[in-house]
Chain A
Amino acid sequence: MSIIVEARELTKRYGADTAVDHLDLTLEKGQIIGLLGPNGSGKTTFIKMINGLLTPTSGIILINGEKPGVNSKRITSYLPERCALPDWMRIDDLVKMYCDFFTDFNREKARNMLADLHLDEKKTYKTLSKGNREKVQLILAMAREAELYCLDEPIGGVDPAARDYILRTILQNYNEEAAVLISTHLIQDVESTLDRALFLKEGTLVLNDTVDNIREKRGKSVDALFREVFAC
């Protein structure tokens, strides 16, 4: 399997606070990876650096062998933790905009997913409920045939039924040759979908192992191990 993300001594500081601390890590394609950790552990900061939204204080991050830039953005599908789409646009305009900017965007796939949700494409994004806005954003991100999906807290702040829908959408639509990086602290909900788990604690990587290994060698579920590692 080829490496899609490589971090070497990656560090990000905000003043005196260190969000990510000398992170050494490689992520390979063909896996669903859980980026797990409590709030403030550096998950979002790491994902932002992958997407070029933050500049590392020191160290290096490479996406498909290149620093974050135009080429990495072409192959990375990013779902931010907040609603980031222009809210004055209609859903069909947003679909068109994704078509315009991303050559790997599959319009039919997006329209089918929207139809499954019975979402009227003529509706303006801001008139949708928060849950539906998040779903539209997820649909647009997952309708790309990307090489790396970065999903930042995709199930945070939604009800359990919506969580099921979101996880099902991710599993049914991701490019199997790609790597899917899911950041969350809701381990129980995502555990069954993960191939690999990364535990981040105060910006440091404290665990990087396959879910199968965690279960077999430690005799615990990822959720049980998470509770043990991050016990207050």
Chain B
Amino acid sequence: MLGKLIKYDLKALCRFVLPLFAVLIGSSIALRICVEIFSFDGAGSNIIASILVFVIAFVYVISLLGCGFAVYIMIALNYHKSLMSDRGYFYLTLPVTHDMHLISKLLAGAAVIILSALAFVVSFLPLFVGNIALPDVLKFISDGWELIRTYMLAKNGVLIIILTVFVALFGSQIVIFFCITLGQLLPNHRILGAFLAFIGHLILSRTISSIFASIGFKNSLIGIYDMDILAETLSSVLLTTIIYYVVIYAIEYVATRLVLKYKLNIE
């Protein structure tokens, strides 16, 4: 059943985000073609060509930003429409558990986030291929990775990477689901309720993390001038921060599940 739920969640999400990815990559290709066709050397520039390039560049930038925001908006809308609006009358009477609904939405959302990241990277290729040498790009990536590995992943590198992927793919989605679900507890002010839940999440999580950070920072100052100690300290701070957020998201997941199970109140 989980596979079937994921299939339908992916369909619901992809019908919005795939056209956006197509526009992103298409506008990137179009931009490159235009730049290749028209020469912008000042005197010989054609005004129509300039406007055309400007419009395509504008579409590209908007869809680039859209890839980041629209994906999360679609994830939120899909969750709200499937479980909290009229469609909830159908989806919530399917013979599946609340966990399955949540996991399905998280996995489908994660797939779309990964797709958006890929679309983001692919959209750069038409713009830079031929302009930047591939070995230079690879060297840049490899140097960056070496820096991260040396200073941030000095200790528990694998664990940090796994948890970071978890937080990046699922954490933000869990917060969205949690806020929307809490919002439905205020029957006449669901959006306001979701917004207040989000503010509450921000205040609580940031306050607690600030308290921990201020305590931890005192101790980490000792020996900070030593590069090995600095690397180890950075790794520890990173790991602690990520674990902290994993715990927050786990609590919010459980709270979402409990509200769905015991306090569900769709209109």
Are A and B subunits of one complex?
yes
- A70 and B97 form a contact (CB under 8 A): yes
On whether A53 and B92 interact (CB within 8 A), knowing A82-B86, A86-B12, A86-B87, the answer reads yes
CB distance from B199 to the nearest CB of A (A): 24
Decide yes or no whether B93 CB sits under 8 A from chain A: yes
Q: Once the chains are docked, how many angstroms separate the CA of A83 from the CA of B81?
A: 13
Q: Once the chains are docked, how many angstroms separate the CA of A84 from the CA of B83?
A: 11
- B94 and A78 form a contact (CB under 8 A): no
Q: Once the chains are docked, how many angstroms separate the CA of A55 from the CA of B262?
A: 6
Total interface residues in chain B, CB < 8 Å: 24
- B93 and A100 form a contact (CB under 8 A): no
- Residues from chain A with a CB closer than 8 A to the CB of B7 are 100
| From A51, A71, A101, residue with most partner B Cβ within 10 Å | A101
- Residues from chain A with a CB closer than 8 A to the CB of B4 are 100-101
CB distance from B112 to the nearest CB of A (A): 16
- In the complex, what residue of chain B is closest to A85 when comparing beta carbons? B90
CB distance from B22 to the nearest CB of A (A): 18
Decide yes or no whether A220 CB sits under 8 A from chain B: no
Interface residues of B in 52-84 (CB under 8 A from A): none
- In the complex, what residue of chain B is closest to A14 when comparing beta carbons? B187
- A54 and B264 form a contact (CB under 8 A): yes
- In the complex, what residue of chain A is closest to B1 when comparing beta carbons? A101
Decide yes or no whether B89 CB sits under 8 A from chain A: yes
Decide yes or no whether A52 CB sits under 8 A from chain B: yes
- A84 and B90 form a contact (CB under 8 A): yes
Number of A-B contacts (CB under 8 A): 60
Q: Once the chains are docked, how many angstroms separate the CA of A129 from the CA of B236?
A: 61
- A52 and B87 form a contact (CB under 8 A): no
- In the complex, what residue of chain B is closest to A83 when comparing beta carbons? B86
- Residues from chain A with a CB closer than 8 A to the CB of B128 are none
On whether A84 and B87 interact (CB within 8 A), knowing A73-B95, A102-B95, the answer reads yes
On whether A70 and B96 interact (CB within 8 A), knowing A86-B12, A101-B1, the answer reads yes
On whether A70 and B12 interact (CB within 8 A), knowing A53-B266, A55-B262, A80-B89, the answer reads no
- Residues from chain A with a CB closer than 8 A to the CB of B266 are 53
- Residues from chain A with a CB closer than 8 A to the CB of B187 are 14
| Cross-chain contact of B95 among A53, A74, A80 (Cβ < 8 A) | A74
- In the complex, what residue of chain B is closest to A70 when comparing beta carbons? B95
Scan A83-99; emit 1 where CB is below 8 A from any B CB, else 0. 11110100000000100
Decide yes or no whether B26 CB sits under 8 A from chain A: no
Q: Once the chains are docked, how many angstroms separate the CA of A100 from the CA of B187?
A: 32
Decide yes or no whether A31 CB sits under 8 A from chain B: no
Decide yes or no whether A76 CB sits under 8 A from chain B: yes
Knowing that A53-B89, A55-B265 are A-B contacts, what are 12 other residue pairs whose CB atoms are under 8 Å apart, sorted by A's residue number? Answer: A53-B93, A54-B264, A54-B265, A70-B97, A73-B94, A78-B93, A82-B89, A84-B89, A85-B87, A86-B90, A88-B15, A97-B8
